[in-house]
Amino acid sequence: MAEAAPVNAELLEWPKKDKRRLLHAVYRVGDLDRTIKFYTECFGMKLLRKRDVPEEKYSNAFLGYGPEESHFVVELTYNYGKSSYDIGTGFGHFAIATQDVYKMVEDIKAKGGTVTREPGPVKGGTTVIAFVKDPDGYIFELIQRGATPEPLCQVMLRVGDLERAIKFYEKALGMKLLRKVDKPNYKV
């Protein structure tokens, strides 16, 4: 089994100095209970809270690896009567850090999950990754890393103008560019 890639020390220090953070990502699901079960059993997330809003005809649930006050969480929203959604091409994937990608993929397969890329090193590198699909078609990258306080570690978005998007995230949201990679073969 390949060794977990070390976590960049600078990435662990930066949040200690800058208290801004992303709170959660909201996305739509066709069966809330099915998706909650998948995230808790396959990804090891915890159900943090769940509510039903009948007057607005929706329910939602917040899941993550720790309290909302200190961790990034996913907000799953189910709209009454809607069983599926067109995810589109703008959303790429979430990434979850784990110490053993191979074991996590075995567990996901055993629970009926869909693996879209088997575990193995990234092309031209040593970091072990895999890709899986949740019951609603959202993609998750599993990244082998050492222990981390925040396993839900990346959100990949596709943009039409990379430089413009970087400026927005830096100037409007105060984010810091950590890495920039152009992968022409991955363009949709």
The CA distance from 122 to 177, in Å, is 22
- In angstroms, the CA 77 to CA 59 distance is 6
Is there a binding annotation on residue 68? Answer: no
- Residue of 3, 69, 141, 170 with catalytic role: 141
69 annotated to a ligand binding site: no
Tokens of 49: 């809270």
Active site residue 163: no
Reference 135, options 104, 108, 102, 96; nearest CA is 108
Query: CA–CA separation, 131 vs 37, rounded Å?
Result: 19
On whether the CB atoms of residues 115 and 104 are closer than 8 A, the answer is no
Residue 93, marked binder: yes
Residue ranges at the known binding site for Zn(2+)? 75, 93, 141
Residue ranges at the known binding site? 75, 93, 141
Active site residues: 141
